[in-house]
Structure 1
Amino acid sequence: MSPHRSAPAPALAVVGATGAVGTILLQILSQRADVWGDIRLIASSRSAGRVLAVRGEETEVLALTEDAFEGLGAGDVVLFLTPAEVSAHWAPVATARGAVVVDQSAAFREDPEVPLVVPEVNGHAVRSRPRGIVAGPDCVTAAMIAAVGALHAEYGLAELAVSSYQAASRSGRAGAEALRRQLTQVAGSPLGELPGDVRRAVGEDTGPFAAPLALNVVPWSGELRADGWSSHELAVRAETRRILGLDSLPVAVTCVQVPVVTGHSLTVRARFEREVAAAPAREVLEAAPGVVLVDDPAAGEFPTPADAAGTDPAWVGRLRSSLDDPRALEFFVCADNLRKGAALNAAQISELIAGEFA
């Protein structure tokens, strides 16, 4: 036990440890300050028995059963990197034992008794958790919210319009593998100049996407909702409002899938309560936690998904004042959707909770 601790270090259980986000999470645990005692890895029965490296030690993956939570209690954290239906079923099992749940799925994001947290923006919210659960946002929201939140704190956000350009790995390994498979199919075909050539080369093998993604752009992500909106677009709207505490904020979102393996990008138009210029806004973003400003178009310096992949911060560039509104800014932001958009945010939330019991 550390000489600075008055109690044993809390345990951390990672449910979904063998998935795409789980793999990144285990890397992060080895790179950040070690605040954990026992680390327990849990996954579906298909992955049970696998041995993974955590903090340089080999750890066997347990099957997701009630026995997997045995011995966990007050002060311990159970981190869910699982589909919503899995989190909804098993999170109450963990909280019933006294552990705090950090869930990265959509299962609890709309629950008013579950705080929705991005530590750089509203980390204080983790302390109020009536159900013993803290939720992390959608990876698109997470990619932009540190930058938007910093500007809101300075200028007061009044309106937001975003378009997302989402990486295939948003759909996990299935999405990344589908894109790679489609690119291989397209590369091996004698493509002509007809628009239908890509679709013919890919055939019905669109994977988790609504249309072929290779050499294409698909203006759809999620499930159909009223008036033609998608579930992912409405989620970004609702989550931005919750995290910033702006229940009536006008938010317009268009979600687009692009043929990139890792790294979400967004164009953002933010309108504020008072006038704002690009120069002071740059200073705000340069000082914002979790944000890196890369903004010199004359030198060819602006963020791309290739820059953001494998890194922690949100990369912001192309910052400029609106041409027709002195209260608006336009900018571009990129972030690793698996790391910044999911695993890192979950790890940061978990560490905040662990700090309460130090």
Structure 2
Amino acid sequence: MPRVTDPAAPRIALVGATGVVGTTLLQLIEERGFRYRDLHLVASARSAGREVAVEGRSYQVQDLDGFDFSGIDVAFFSAGARVSTTFVPKAVAQGALVIDNTSAFRMDPDTPLVVPQVNAHELDTRPASGIIANPNCSTIPLVRLLKPVQERWGIRQAVVSTYQAASGAGYSGIEELRAGARAVLDDPDSTGVTGTFSPSLAFDLIPRIDRLLEDGFTFEEQKMLQESRKILALPHLDVTTTCVRVPVVNSHSEAAWIECHNPVDRTELVQLLAQQQEVTVHDLTTPGAFPTPRTAGDPNHVHVGRVRVAAHNPRGFWMWIVADNVRIGAALNALQIAEALTERGVL
């Protein structure tokens, strides 16, 4: 049982406990047996008072506005960048170590941006800011695969197109996709349902995620560039992306072209990728095999397929990536950060 009386086990607060990432984090804490001494579920006033069962025990969701973090060892924040900007500094000031799942502090030089399979050394000591940032949901699976490639062949450039699921916008995104799909199926001339997405995501693609920047890229695309550089400690890495929202309920996909400094051998490449922690290479033995968001398999793995080295440029290769964006891209990475902190005695 994760809940213990051991005084060395951390006291946890989960901000955004009723959202899609928060509820998934609670599931993972149970699944992985992450030991904690105390648990507080926190959300906005709209969700305050709701009863949530964890390990068969009922917890009442508390209002973030009046919550006291002084008795908390680690606080997970998954309630959006605006909430984090306002409340994370308060939590840190009251003594909590924050694992933040938003963009609010990712590029802060005093805040490590961590994917444990890539740069766990950042967790050896408590950060000066009191915050550890969780990267973007599309950045996490990408850098987990880029790290061994960089170490073996060096990377000159990465060109990535993402195909991001409705769950990236939370429960509202999922419900809007389903409602829009029903509306269009009932009436093919319907414009669908808009609100979270515009135009309607049902049976369509939207090649813009997050706000548009002055250079024509979106903030989502900028995040993938900046975060990849920071996590891999490659400040001049050339990463360019196009981020697309697709009518898929859950799991993001990516088509990635990686150009290296040296020629790449495909057999060695697929073996190298398959050796990585929690990575499944679908065409390891069957060239051309691929995962899909619905059929990939273990939601706690990064799934790779269609790995192919370009005949006209043996320094470059393509790969198709699928990962559960709520788990791999958010809740699981956050929990693995906490697990690594515990192992190191920092938490």
TM range (shorter): over 0.9
Q: 2:87 aligns with which of 86, 90, 98?
A: 90
The answer on whether the counterparts of 2:69 and 2:96 sit within 8 Å (CA) in structure 1 is no
For structure 1, which segment, 52-61 or 317-326, has the greater mean C-alpha deviation from structure 2 after superposition? 52-61
Q: Which residue of 2 aligns with 1:202?
A: 191
Cα drift, residue 296 of structure 1: 6.5
Q: Which residue of 1 aligns with 2:123?
A: 126
Cα drift, residue 220 of structure 1: 1.1
The answer on whether the counterparts of 1:309 and 1:335 sit within 8 Å (CA) in structure 2 is no
RMSD, aligned CA: 2.1
Deviations 1:310-347 (A, max 9, x none): 71111000001013211111100001111111000111
Structure 1: stretches of 5+ with no match in the other structure:
192-196
Q: Which residue of 2 aligns with 1:292?
A: 280
The answer on whether the counterparts of 2:6 and 2:37 sit within 8 Å (CA) in structure 1 is no
1:326 counterpart SS class: strand
CA distance in 2, matches of 1:135, 1:307: 30
1:149-298 → structure 2 map (5 Å cutoff) = 149-189=147-187, 191=188, 197=189, 201-202=190-191, 205-295=193-283
Q: Quote the sequence identity (%).
A: 39
Deviations 1:37-59 (A, max 9, x none): 11111111111121212233222
Cα drift, residue 300 of structure 1: 7.4
1:309–1:95 CA distance, 2 compared to 1 (3 A): farther
For structure 1, which segment, 177-186 or 122-131, has the greater mean C-alpha deviation from structure 2 after superposition? 122-131
Q: Which residue of 2 aligns with 1:81?
A: 78
Deviations 1:242-278 (A, max 9, x none): 1111101111100011110101000011111221111
CA distance in 2, matches of 1:77, 1:273: 41
1:225–1:357 CA distance, 2 compared to 1 (3 A): closer
Q: Which residue of 1 aligns with 2:327?
A: 339
* Corresponding letter in the other structure for 2:19: G
Q: Which residue of 2 aligns with 1:303?
A: 291
Q: Which residue of 2 aligns with 1:18?
A: 18
1:330 counterpart SS class: strand
* Corresponding letter in the other structure for 1:172: G
Deviations 1:161-199 (A, max 9, x none): 10000101111111111111110011001x3xxxxx4xx
1:218 counterpart SS class: coil
CA distance in 2, matches of 1:338, 1:255: 17
1:327 counterpart SS class: strand
Q: Which residue of 2 aligns with 1:30?
A: 30
Q: Which residue of 2 aligns with 1:137?
A: 135
* Corresponding letter in the other structure for 2:79: T
* Corresponding letter in the other structure for 1:163: S
Cα drift, residue 212 of structure 1: 2.2
The answer on whether the counterparts of 1:143 and 1:336 sit within 8 Å (CA) in structure 2 is no
CA distance in 1, matches of 2:332, 2:186: 37
Give the 4+ runs in structure 1 shifted more than 4 A. 296-300
Q: Which residue of 1 aligns with 2:47?
A: 47
* Corresponding letter in the other structure for 1:234: Q
Cα drift, residue 144 of structure 1: 2.0
The answer on whether the counterparts of 1:29 and 1:55 sit within 8 Å (CA) in structure 2 is no
The answer on whether the counterparts of 1:105 and 1:136 sit within 8 Å (CA) in structure 2 is yes
Q: Which residue of 2 aligns with 1:194?
A: none
CA distance in 2, matches of 1:243, 1:298: 32
The answer on whether the counterparts of 1:241 and 1:248 sit within 8 Å (CA) in structure 2 is yes
1:296–1:134 CA distance, 2 compared to 1 (3 A): closer
* Corresponding letter in the other structure for 1:39: L
1:107 counterpart SS class: coil
CA distance in 1, matches of 2:129, 2:235: 22
2:295 counterpart SS class: helix
CA distance in 2, matches of 1:217, 1:51: 37
TM-score (norm 2): 0.93
* Corresponding letter in the other structure for 2:191: V
TM-score (norm 1): 0.90
Cα drift, residue 70 of structure 1: 4.0
Cα drift, residue 150 of structure 1: 2.5
Q: Which residue of 1 aligns with 2:114?
A: 117
1:315 aligns with 2:303: yes
Structure 2: stretches of 5+ with no match in the other structure:
none
* Corresponding letter in the other structure for 1:51: E
